[in-house]
Amino acid sequence: MKKASLIVLTAIIFLMSAVPAFAKEEESSSHQELMNVRAFTKLYGYVRFFHPSDENTQIDWKRFAIHGVSKVRAAKTKDELTTTLQELFYPIAPTMNLTKQDNATRLSPPAQAKNLTAWLHEGVKMDIPQLDLLYKSERPQSADLSEIKLMDQLAEVEHVLQPGETVVKPIAPGIFAHIPLVLYRDDKGTLGATPKSAQELTQLQQQLSRIDLAKASLDDTNVRLANFVITWNVLQHFYPYFDVVKVDWEQALTDALQQCLKDQTTDQFVQTMKQMLEKTRDGHSGMLGPKNQTSDRAYFPFRVEWIEEQVVISNVKSGIDLRRGDIILKLNEKSATAYFKELEKYIAGSEQWKRYTAATQFSEGSIGKEATLTVQRGEQKFEISLSYTSKNIMEVDDFIRPEPIDKVADDIYYVNLSNITIDMFKDRLPELEKAKGIIFDMRGYPNVMQDLLSYLTDVPLQLPSQYVPISVYPDQEKAGFRLDRMSVEPSQPKLKGKMVFLTYGGAISRAEWLLGVVEHYRLGEIVGEPTAGANGNGNGMELPGGYNIFWTGQKVLKQDGSQHHLVGIQPTVPVKRTIKELREGRDIYMEKAIEVINAAKSTR
C-alpha cells in the first residue's frame, strides 16, 4: 500500500514539474511562429513593391500571401526560417539575398545588359479599377546603363538611382534582406533569373493556381494572416500621414499578428483588423465586408448623438414612441455609454470623427432583429423594444432641416449642399443674389463644390492641393510628392450677402476641401464644431476572403501649409448641441447662423 502511494506521489510530482516545461516549450513555439510570420510580412512588402523583376509581375500576390504564411509558420528555428524564406522568394527575386550581415553591395552588370529598371509608385496602384486614374505603380526604363531617373512629369522631386542599387533591411533578429531596387535589362526583360529559378517560378505558379480565392475563408488562419501581411505593408510604404500620426507601426504589426494567431473566426479577425487600422488615425480608413455579410445590415428608426457625456436621441422617425432629447441608458441590458465608448476604440480618425461614427454604429444591427432600450425622459425611465428596420442610416436625418433651398427668415436663405444639384442652385440665383445672408449647410457630404465657390468671389481662388506620394524606396524613405493644384474663376452674379457655413464632426473629406477654401479666404463664418480632419483622395484594395480595405492615399494640407489631418476646419463661431435644445425641437446651429447674419452689416 505504501509502495503504491509512493508511486502515485512520484507521478504527481513529475507531472507538476513537467507542466512549466511544457508551457515554456509552447510559449517558445508560439514566439517562433510569430517571428516567422512577421519576417515573411516584412520581406513580402519589400519584394512585392520594390524589387522590379519581371517575375514580380507574374505572381498573384494575394495567393502568394496565403501560400507564404502557410509555409513559414512551420519553421522551428531561425535557420529554418531563413531557408524557407529564400525558397519562397527565390523564384520571384533571384537576385535578392538573405544574410546575417547588413553590409550593402551592388549587383554587377551582366555583359548583355542594355538598360535599367526600377519601381516608381505614385501612391500605389492596387486592384480597384476605378482608382487607376489616381494611382500608378510602374517600372520605367532608363535609356542606358549610367543611371535611372524616376520622376513623374508633374513631381517636384526627382529620384536618381544607380545601376544595381540595393537596400538592406532587417526582417528578423539576425536576418537581413538585400533587395536590389534597380535591375539590369536586355531586350527580353530583366536579368538575374537562372534556369533553376525559372523552373521554380513555374512550380510556384502552379501551386498558387490551386488556391481558390473565391473560396478563401477568413475562418482559415492562413487567410486571416495574409490579410494582415498585405494591409500592413500597403500602409507602411504608402500611407501619407505617418509624419503626423505618432504610432509605433512596427509594434502594431507584432500586436496584430499575435492576436490573429489566437483568433478563430471572421468576427474576431474583423475586430483585430479594426484595432490595427485604428492606429493610423485615418478617418477614411475602414473595412467593407462581402455583400453576403452586409445584406442584412439595418438601423434603428432613430439617430443618436453623444451630448453632455450621454447617448441622446437626436432625431426619430414618426410613429415611434421616442422623442428627441431622450437619453438611452441601456441597450440590451448593456450600459449605452460603455457600448458607445467601446465602439470608439475600433474607429480610426480624430476624436470628433470617432464620436460621429460611433453614433452611426450605435444604431446598427441585423434587419428585423429586436433590441430592448432603457430610456430616460426627464424623471421617467422606461423600456421599449424596437427592431432594426431602416436599410439606410440616412432614412432618419441627424437634424430637422428646412427644404434644400428655403427662405428661413427675412431675406435669409438656407441651402443644403448635400441635397441639391448645381442646376437647382443656379435656378435660385436671382433670389440668392438679393439675400441679406445665406446659410450653407455642410453637415453632410456636399454635392456642389467649385461651382458654388465661383459665386462667392470676384478674384480667382486657389483650391486645396493634393500631395500624391512618389515612392521609390521602401519604408517611405526619401519619399517625395507630386503637387496637384487647381483653381476656380469667379462667376456672375457674385453673392454679396453674409455667408455662413454650418459644420460638425461628421463633415469629412469633400466637405473639408470646400471649407478649407472658405477658411483660407474668409468667405464667411463657420458655425458649429471642428470637422473630421481627414482629407485627400482615398485608395483601396480587395483582400482574400472578400473584405475591402480603404485608406487615405493622398495628403492635403491647409492652404497656409499647416496640418489639416486630425485638426480639421475649426469653427469661427463654436456651437454645441444640448439636450435642452433637442427637447425643444430647435436647431442651435441654424439659430446661431441667423443671429450672425442679422448682426452683420449689409454689403449688398
Q: Distance from CA of residue 362 to its chain's centroid?
A: 20
Is a pLDDT exceeding 50 seen at residue 22? no
pLDDT at 294: 64
Q: What is the average per-residue pLDDT within 16-29?
A: 54
Q: What pLDDT digit, counting tens, does each position of 544-557 carry?
A: 999 999 999 999 99
Largest CA distance in the chain: 110
| Whole-number CA gyration radius for the chain | 29
Query: At how many degrees (to 10) do helices 61-72 and 221-238 cross?
Result: 120
Query: Which whole-number Å values give the CA distances from 157 to 101, 151, 512, 536, in the listed order?
Result: 32, 7, 27, 20
Q: Which domains does the chain have, with CATH numbers?
A: 26-213 (no CATH), 293-388 (2.30.42.10), 405-442+444-598 (3.90.226.10)
Banded model confidence at residue 9, pLDDT cuts 50, 70, 90: low
Is a pLDDT exceeding 60 seen at residue 24? no
Ranges of beta strands (E only) in 350-395 are: 364-366, 370-377, 380-387
Unique residue bearing C-alpha cell 434603428: 300
Whether the Cβ atoms of residue 279 and residue 551 lie closer than 8 Å to each other: no
Kindly state the DSSP code that residue 601 receives in the 8-state scheme. Answer: P
Banded model confidence at residue 150, pLDDT cuts 50, 70, 90: confident
CA distance 248 to 98: 25
Nearest one of 232, 212, 339, 216 to 266, comparing CA atoms:
216
Nearest one of 482, 50, 480, 508 to 286, comparing CA atoms:
508
pLDDT at 236: 98
The DSSP bridge pattern shows strands 437-441 and 498-503 to be parallel
Banded model confidence at residue 449, pLDDT cuts 50, 70, 90: confident
Q: What is the average per-residue pLDDT within 242-253?
A: 96
Whether the Cβ atoms of residue 229 and residue 66 lie closer than 8 Å to each other: no
Whether the Cβ atoms of residue 446 and residue 514 lie closer than 8 Å to each other: yes
CA distance 190 to 183: 6
CA distance 191 to 95: 9
Q: What is the average per-residue pLDDT within 437-448?
A: 95
CA distance 554 to 232: 17
303: β partners: 315
Count of all residues that appear for the chain in the document? 604
CA distance 578 to 314: 10
Is a pLDDT exceeding 90 seen at residue 10? no
Whether the Cβ atoms of residue 449 and residue 513 lie closer than 8 Å to each other: yes
Start-to-end C-alpha separation, the chain: 110
Query: Which whole-number Å values give the CA distances from 565 to 249, 464, 556, 561, in the listed order?
Result: 18, 13, 8, 12
Banded model confidence at residue 23, pLDDT cuts 50, 70, 90: very low
Q: What is the average per-residue pLDDT within 158-171?
A: 93
Query: Which whole-number Å values give the CA distances from 586 to 235, 315, 352, 393, 589, in the listed order?
Result: 43, 11, 22, 22, 9
Nearest one of 53, 71, 65 to 119, comparing CA atoms:
53
Residues 6+ away with beta carbon under 8 Å from 278 = 285, 345, 346, 347, 348
Neighbouring C-beta atoms of residue 430, cutoff 10 Å: 9
Neighbouring C-beta atoms of residue 574, cutoff 10 Å: 12
How big, in percent rounded to 5, are the helix, strand and coil portions of the chain? 35, 25, 40
CA distance 433 to 58: 60
Q: What pLDDT digit, counting tens, does each position of 102-147 carry?
A: 887 889 999 999 999 999 999 999 999 889 889 999 999 999 999 9
Helices (H), 212-305: 221-238, 249-262, 266-278, 291-294
CA distance 545 to 149: 39
pLDDT at 11: 52
Lowest mean pLDDT, pick from 45-49, 453-457, 462-466: 462-466
Is a pLDDT exceeding 80 seen at residue 2? no
- Mean pLDDT of the chain, nearest integer: 93
What SS3 class is residue 121? Answer: strand
Share of the chain above pLDDT 70, in %: 93
Lowest mean pLDDT, pick from 152-156, 231-235, 251-255, 572-576: 152-156
Share of the chain above pLDDT 90, in %: 85
pLDDT at 1: 46
- Exposure of 115 by Cβ count < 10 A (0-12 exposed, 13-18 middle, 19+ buried)? middle
Q: What pLDDT digit, counting tens, does each position of 276-319 carry?
A: 999 999 999 999 988 656 678 899 999 999 999 999 999 999 99
pLDDT at 465: 85
Calculate the CA dihedral of residues 556, 558, 561, 567 and round it to 10 degrees.
-90
Q: What pLDDT digit, counting tens, does each position of 265-279 carry?
A: 999 999 999 999 999
Q: What pLDDT digit, counting tens, does each position of 370-417 carry?
A: 999 999 999 999 999 999 998 898 899 999 999 999 999 999 999 999
Ranges of beta strands (E only) in 426-479 are: 437-441, 461-462, 466-471
CA distance 150 to 364: 47
CA distance 124 to 471: 9
Residues 6+ away with beta carbon under 8 Å from 561 = none
Peptide bond into 52 cis (omega under 30): no
CA distance 393 to 410: 34
Query: Looking at beta carbons, which pairs linking 300-303 to residues 24 or more positions away fall under 8 Å?
Result: 300/363, 300/365, 300/371, 300/386, 300/388, 300/389, 300/390, 301/386, 301/389, 301/390, 301/395, 301/396, 302/363, 302/396, 303/359, 303/363, 303/393, 303/396, 303/397, 303/398
Is a pLDDT exceeding 80 seen at residue 463? yes
Banded model confidence at residue 5, pLDDT cuts 50, 70, 90: low
Kindly state the DSSP code that residue 390 receives in the 8-state scheme. Answer: B
